[in-house]
Every structure is written in C-alpha cells, then in structure tokens.
Amino acid sequence: MKYVELHSASAFSFLEGASRPEDLVSRAKELEQPAIALVDRDGAYGAPRLHMAAKSVGIQPHVGAEISVEGFGNLARPPSWMPNSFPARPVRLPLLVKSRTGYQNLCRLMTRYKLREKEKGTGKANLDEVAEHAEGLVCLTGGEEGVLAASLSNKGYDEARKNIELLTTIFGRKNVYIELQRHCDVVEERRNQAAVRLGETLGLPLLATNGVRYATAAEREILDVFTCIRNHCKLETAGRLLERNDERHLRATEEMVQLFSDLPEAIQNTSELSARLEYTLADLGYEFPRYPVPQGETMDSFLRKRTEEGFQNRYGAKPDNDLFERAKRQVERELALIEKLHLAGYFLIVWDIIRFCREQKILVQGRGSAANSAVCYSLGITAVDPVGMKLLFGRFLSEERGEWPDIDLDLPSRDQREKAIQYVYQGYGQLGAAMTANVITYRDRSAAREVGKALGFDQDTLDQLSSVVNSGEWRGPADNFENHFQQVGFDLNHPRVRKYWELCERIQDLPRHLGQHSGGMVVCQGQLDSVVPLEPATMPGRVVVQWDKDDCADMGIIKIDLLGLGMMAVLEECLELIPKHYGKPVDLAQLPPDDPPVYETLRKADTVGMFQVESRAQMASLPRNAPVKFYDLVV
C-alpha cells in the first residue's frame, strides 16, 4: 500500500505555506511516494514548478487549488474578544483536476472571481459558478479551512450533512471525498469522528491527508514567521494564530498507515484517487494565436508579401547591387525556415504591433538578436541592416535549437508604451491577453525587516540593519547576513539573535507576493484563461497571468516584450529636432554603419548619454578595444 499526499500547499499560498514546490517534490521522492498534489490558495501559482520538478524525478504531479467560496459560511475562528482573532474568512474547497476539461474549468473559475475582486485576495466564487465549472474536478471536504469544519463549528452536524450533500449534487457522488487529517488535536479528532459518520451515512469515501504546509517539520518555524507577517503581529503575542505543533509536513507511508490504522481504507483511497487524476500540465493546450489574413491568403503568403514590400523600401534605397542580391537570398532563406517552423503568425503579430505604433507616431524598435534577421529588418521591426553588417541569423533563429524566437520591442516609457499594451488587450480581449507575473521573493533587506518585526526587534535596530543589508547585486564574500549583523553590533552567540539570523537565511527566495513584469505579454489562440488563471494587476486596465516569465517559458507559452525605455523618448525627440534645425529628415534604418566621427567618439570613451555604452565598465573598455567599425562592437 502506497500513500499519496493529495492536499499540500506551498509557499505560493503566499504566507500560508513554507516550502517551495520543488522542495515538496524532493521530499516526496525521498519518501518514495509515487505522486503529490499541490492545492495552493486561490491559484495555480506554483503548478509549473511542481510539474517541472516532478518530471525531473519521475513522480506524478497533480494539479489543484483551494478556492474561496461564499455560501458555506466562514471559517471557524476564536471569539472576537480574544487577542489576535483574525477577520472572517470564507470557506475554501480543495479541488483536484482529473482531466483537461477539469483544468480549464478550474482556471476559468478562479479567473472569474479574481477579476471582480476589489481588494487583492478577497475574491470568492459563488455556488452557481462552482456548479458551472464542476466537470472534471474532484472535491475534498478539507481540513480546518474546509466546509466540513466550518459547518460543524458554526451550526452542527445537520448543517454539515446538508452542505456535503450539496457538494455531491454539484460534483457528483463519485467526485466528493470526506477528508480526514490528524495533527494531535482534540478538536480535530472530534471533527474526524463526525466526518466518518457522515461518510458512512452518505456512502462517501474517506481520504487521509496531512494538510501539508511545509516539506519537513523544521520548516514549521518559517510558517510561524509568515503567520505573524500575515496577521501583523509579533511571535510572542500571536498565540492561537500559530500552528499548535509541527505535524503538517510530508509523512512517509508507514507513518500515515500507523496514524490511520483504524481507517485503512482512508489510506488506500489516496492511491485510488491518484490513479484517477490523469491530467498534467504536459497537456496544457496552449496555442499561439493565428493571425487573421485576407481570404485566399495563408499566414506564410501574407508574411511573404509584407516582407517583400518592406524589402524594397529598405534595400531598394541602398546604392549597392551586391548588397541587394545578398539580402534577397538571405530573406528567402529566412522565410523558408519561418515557414518550416510554422512561425509566420508570430512574426505577423509583432509586425502588427509595429504597424499600429507607426500609425500612432510612436517610435518603436526591436532589440537583441532580432536585429540579426533580414525579415525583421524588412518588416520594420528593427532598424539595423543585418546583411550589410554581417550579423549571424542563427543567433536569432535556428532549427536545431528548437526554440521560439524572442523579439523584444522598445518603446518610449509611460503613455506611448501604454497605448501599445492596450492595443494588444483590445485585439485579444480581457481573457485573451495578459501581462506575465513577476514573483517577488524575499531578499536580504526584506527578509531582515519582516523577520525582525515578527521576532519583536525594535524599529531603530531594524532601520540600522536595513541600512547595511544589500538589496541589490552581490558585493563580494563579505556580503552576507553574518557580517551585516556584526556591523550593527548584534551578538551572534545570543540565542534570539542567532535564530533571527537563521530565519533570515532560510526565507531567502521564498515567494513574498505577486508583481507584474515590466513589459512581457502573453497572447493565446482562444481564451488565455483556459490555459492559466488570470487576475487583475494593480495598474488599472491590466490583467496578469499567475505565472512568471520563466514558468511561462517552461510551459511553452510565448511572451512578447513591450518594454519602456527612456532613451527611446530621447531618440523620438531627436528625430523631430534634427529636421527642424538641420533641414534633413532622418531614417534610423539608413544611417551609415561606419561613420568615422562616431567611432572616434567611442574610442575616447565620450559616451555619457549613449545607451548601453555609458556604464563605467564600458567606458573603461572602449579605449582598449578601439572600435573602428560596427562589427568590433558586436564582438
């Protein structure tokens, strides 16, 4: 008999879990468990990382989430007159995904109530919405956060029975499991006895879980700190807000079998339910949008026509027949590869954004390896002639690498860039396009400040420590917490200070909250909310996916970067001022590539205000490298 943990939360439950998904997977592998389910609060934030980690070690990752629901009352809580009583919170239903339909329903359900929340983290689904999205999902009755605990605590056994029967109506009798957890708690065990009786009365299967919040027992300390941060209190006064013990960790099969020796079927059912949960994120179903083309055209033929038009404008203006012929051959090679790799839609969508910007008189410029493509140059995505400058197309796109091309678009910051972003939103709809998330993690300074508050250190001490702790790049071997603590006079031999230092180290890189990527957008054929849950960004008019750019890349979701750059605003002004003062229009695509005065200025390191060559390191290297042509800078 093998036990499978089907109710675990990670640090992506944001201050309600203390381990990364990868650590949960590693621990499950050590315990020789064949699978593990992740059910974070109101999101699938950690699902890609669970999937990739489980794939690497050969265990099955199950997808799920705890969704907040109205209609079942609020969680049981201490009386309001008690210290540190938390505010009313809705019941949460742990849902597990059986099929791709179930995954799409879970994503759409969370998106629906997330997008209408007025304050972050307050969204909840109503029962009609749950019923509408129930297909392909399995519902557990939950632990202390679940419907069974709330019903028994608030109104008693009859109310609990009525609510469980309602769940069977919504999800089907075969898809509701009576969940049992045992954490050496008398109140919990009384709840378990009522749950077993309900299961027998209603003919529903029992399911043992450990309601996991951390991979190992030692990480309970981190969860206690997170609980204090979440509730804005100190550890010494948190009282019943904290975990009663350190039981909510991943347990070996032998431990769980012994713990539920009186209910062996509850252990057996974990393997049986795991076998039913066939879906993984390998079957995500993401497809990059197909660009709409006129009747009688294909995306490949339409891309070829746009490229040929641009080619004549860009290369026809150059008085070099040899260059023209070489560029023509290069464009043909690139178009053939683009067609072979089925990438025409991607290039057309980027071209469409460029076209919109030009119509709105917004300066836009492709950056990075896209400048190595003659097709990008012809389409107006970039302004650098890759053939004349002998740039390597293979650095941008290669059949052997098997990767999507990455085209980053630079725009002037603020209003101009926002117009382009809103154009993409309008083109694909609120549910068809979104910004990628940015997972904000604990770094030195934030860890020192928030852990210090939880442990009760005074504000002056925290300010002093924050002033010496680095929040940016690593500065060398001395850039560590031990040295920082000594700089402000902390005695590392003192037990309280030692624990403070240890906790600061341990919460490094754990998720703190979800932010928004500076410019990365993802679009989808169909609705994006069937691929990944969406939620509102803090900036009005924007929506973000629940995954960051690296998670999106791991899952095969394509990102288009629309980046705000102050230097683009400077260039935009120059393009207006030069004709006004010198009477000559300027075309960035036709600038001379090897203008001697430019390289003389570079060799003198007179580069203040020159984008990407104005840092101290660049200014120090330029006189030694002594560039005389563009390729010297490329190398």
Q: Which residues on adjacent β-strands are paired with residue 37?
A: 62
pLDDT band with cut points at 50, 70 and 90 for residue 47: very high
The residue whose two tokens read 């904000």 is 440
User: Cα angle at 626 between 624 and 630, to 5 degrees?
Assistant: 135
Among the listed ranges 279-293, 327-341, 565-579, which one has the minimum average pLDDT value? 565-579
**From CA 445, how far away is CA 473, in angstroms rounded?**
12
What's the half-sphere exposure (Cβ side, CA atoms, 13 Å) at 278? 5
Torsion over CA: 424, 427, 430, 432 (sign): negative
Of 291 and 404, which is predicted with more confidence? 291
Q: Tens digits of per-residue pLDDT, 217-229?
A: 999 999 999 999 9
What's the half-sphere exposure (Cβ side, CA atoms, 13 Å) at 473? 1
Among the listed ranges 190-199, 223-232, 403-412, which one has the minimum average pLDDT value? 403-412
Task: Identify the CATH number of the domain defined by range 5-283.
Answer: 3.20.20.140
pLDDT of residue 17: 96
> Residues 357, 366: contact at Cβ < 8 Å?
no
Q: Tens digits of per-residue pLDDT, 306-348?
A: 999 999 999 888 888 899 999 999 999 999 999 999 999 999 9
The yes-or-no verdict on residue 472 having pLDDT over 60 is no
Separation of CA 447 from chain center: 21
In three-state secondary structure terms, 122 is coil
User: Cα angle at 546 between 69 and 9, to 5 degrees?
Assistant: 60
pLDDT of residue 297: 93
> Residues 413, 483: contact at Cβ < 8 Å?
no
User: Cα angle at 227 between 223 and 233, to 5 degrees?
Assistant: 140
Rounded to two decimals, the pTM is 0.90
User: Cα angle at 214 between 212 and 215, to 5 degrees?
Assistant: 100
Instruction: Using DSSP bridges, classify how beta strands 176-180 and 206-208 pair: parallel, antiparallel or unpaired.
Output: parallel
Q: Tens digits of per-residue pLDDT, 82-138?
A: 666 667 789 999 999 999 999 999 999 999 999 998 888 889 999 999 999 999 999
pLDDT band with cut points at 50, 70 and 90 for residue 517: confident
Q: Tens digits of per-residue pLDDT, 346-385?
A: 999 999 999 999 999 999 989 888 889 999 999 999 988 9
Q: Tens digits of per-residue pLDDT, 139-151?
A: 999 999 999 999 9
pLDDT band with cut points at 50, 70 and 90 for residue 463: confident
What is the residue-averaged pLDDT of the chain? 90
pLDDT of residue 591: 83
Structure token pair of residue 450: 């928030």
**From CA 239, how far away is CA 242, in angstroms rounded?**
6
pLDDT of residue 479: 61
How many angstroms separate the Cα of 586 from the Cα of each of 194, 497, 576, 582? 80, 63, 9, 10
pLDDT of residue 566: 84
What is the radius of gyration, based on Cα positions, of the chain?
29
Q: Tens digits of per-residue pLDDT, 410-461?
A: 998 878 888 999 999 888 887 889 999 999 999 888 888 899 999 988 888 7
pLDDT of residue 317: 81
pLDDT of residue 64: 97
Structure token pair of residue 150: 């709330």
Of 514 and 103, which is predicted with more confidence? 103
pLDDT of residue 428: 87
User: Cα angle at 428 between 346 and 524, to 5 degrees?
Assistant: 50
pLDDT band with cut points at 50, 70 and 90 for residue 478: low
Number of other CB atoms surrounding residue 564 within 10 Å: 18
Phi, psi of 189 (to 5 degrees): -70, -35
**From CA 537, how far away is CA 319, in angstroms rounded?**
50
